[in-house]
Amino acid sequence: MFSKLTVALTLAAAFLMPSAAFAADEAAASPAVPGVDEIVNMTNQASYYQGSDGRAKVHMTITDEQGRAREREFVILRWDAPEAGSDVAKKDQTFTGGQKFYVYFERPADVNKMAFLVWKHLDKSDDRWLYLPALDLVKRIAASDKRTSFVGSSFFYEDVSGRHIDEDTHELVKVTGDYYVLKNTPKDPDSVEFAYYEMYVHKKTFVVVETDYYDKQGQKYRTYKAEKVETIDGYPTVTKSSMTDTKNGSKTEMDYSEVKYNLDIPEDVFTERYLRQLPYEFLR
């Protein structure tokens, strides 16, 4: 492939020197394509680390393969760990470390007051808990369950808090006018149900606009899409997303409203205690 390209360029240079020189100058003036690690880190930042913390109200619509719809409403809170040893004000830092998520369900009645808690670690498996109010029970979610349905939707538990970037090998497989296309292959293929997934990353914002998951047979079976993106508090923010099971046709849509960043949410809100004793100040 490269030898044919070299021959073609040599012939072009021999007969069209002025045009070739102009093309070279134009290429030099074009923005360089970032390295794959930089793209992955910027994408991770845009997806999960906007601001130092955040809050959003979410309306979820779950449509099964027969077209029957169910709805859920919940509030999601996020807290980012400040960088170790930094004296910089928290709101001015760049966050790429540990995180904590708190999800509180409001509707319908059968999930009212149910809560989901995640402690996201960089050096070990995440900790996850689910509070079931009808039983007054806090249930620990095993690490092996992170690739299972989140409250009956097409999203998985891992989709809510994000997958660790170090769990996959990343390749930049295509560059288009607007997108970087990354192929991500799990380092431990036996720990997940997919063979790889491809992400379409918007060049300017590094927002992931689509993710396609492929099974061991190379067939696409799940697709995530960012249906709507808005700028909130200066951050490009996905305000509507969907996950589709492309094999059976079921789909889940999530609409985000009342999105806010940098609220100074205390870390102790993200503990088992507040699964039962609700932090109303941040939920309303």
pLDDT band at 1 (very low <50, low <70, confident <90, very high): very low
**Average pLDDT in the chain:** 85
Beta strand residue intervals within the chain, DSSP E: 53-63, 69-80, 99-107, 115-120, 127-132, 137-141, 168-175, 179-186, 196-202, 208-214, 220-232, 235-245, 251-261
pLDDT score of 32: 87
Q: Which domain holds residue 67?
A: 35-283
Residues 163 and 224: their CA atoms lie apart, in Å, by 14
Question: Does residue 87 form part of some domain?
Answer: yes
Instruction: Give every CB contact of residue 248 below 8 A, 6+ residues apart in sequence.
Output: 65
The pTM assigned to this predicted structure is 0.82
Q: In this structure, what CATH number is given to the domain that contains residue 159?
A: 2.50.20.10
Q: How far is CA 75 from CA 86, 167, 279, in A?
A: 30, 28, 11
Residue 48 maps to a domain:
yes
Is 77 part of any domain?
yes
Task: State pLDDT tens for residues 181-238.
Answer: 999 999 999 999 999 999 999 999 999 999 999 999 999 999 999 999 999 999 999 9
In this predicted model, what pLDDT tens digit does every residue of 117-168 receive, in sequence order? 999 987 888 899 999 999 999 999 887 788 999 989 999 989 988 888 999 9
Strands 235-245 and 251-261: antiparallel
Q: What is the mean pLDDT of residues 64-73?
A: 95
Domain total of the chain = 1
The pLDDT of residue 17 is above 70: no
Candidate from 106-110, 224-228, 255-259 with smallest mean pLDDT: 106-110
**At 46, which helix (H) or strand (E)?**
helix 36-48
pLDDT score of 4 more than 50: no
3-state secondary structure 133-157: CCCCEEEEECHHHCCCECCCCCCEH
pLDDT of amino acid 146: 86
Q: Is 247 inside a domain boundary?
A: yes
Residue 26 pLDDT greater than 50, yes or no: no
